[in-house]
Amino acid sequence: MSESPVPAPTATPPVRPCSATGCTGAAVLQWQRLATDAELTAITLASEETTARIAVFGCDQHALDLESAARLHNADCPWPAPCTCAGVVA
């Protein structure tokens, strides 16, 4: 008698919420920005580091375009208002 193989469960990444204030949508895109001074006080940095990068998540309504998401944004990026810093740091 031969038994049917049991399919392996598929790994699903965790659903991240959109970072826009008040939005409960699921994120479809992630990008990075520099940490604010307030955030830096809560982060332990290596001795040679002076800043950190923070992950930002956007739903289909609040995501940046792919070209902008590929860049590091300023700590004070006005997203989800139109981003004016996408070309500042590559």
What's the half-sphere exposure (Cβ side, CA atoms, 13 Å) at 32? 11
How do the domains of the chain map onto residue ranges? Answer: 17-90
Cα distance between residue 78 and residue 85, in whole Å: 9
* pLDDT digit string (tens) for the chain, length 90 residues: 566 777 777 777 788 999 999 999 999 999 999 999 999 999 999 999 999 999 999 999 999 989 889 999 999 999 998 888 856 554
Query: Which residues, at least 6 apart from 47, have a Cβ–Cβ distance to it below 8 Å?
Result: none
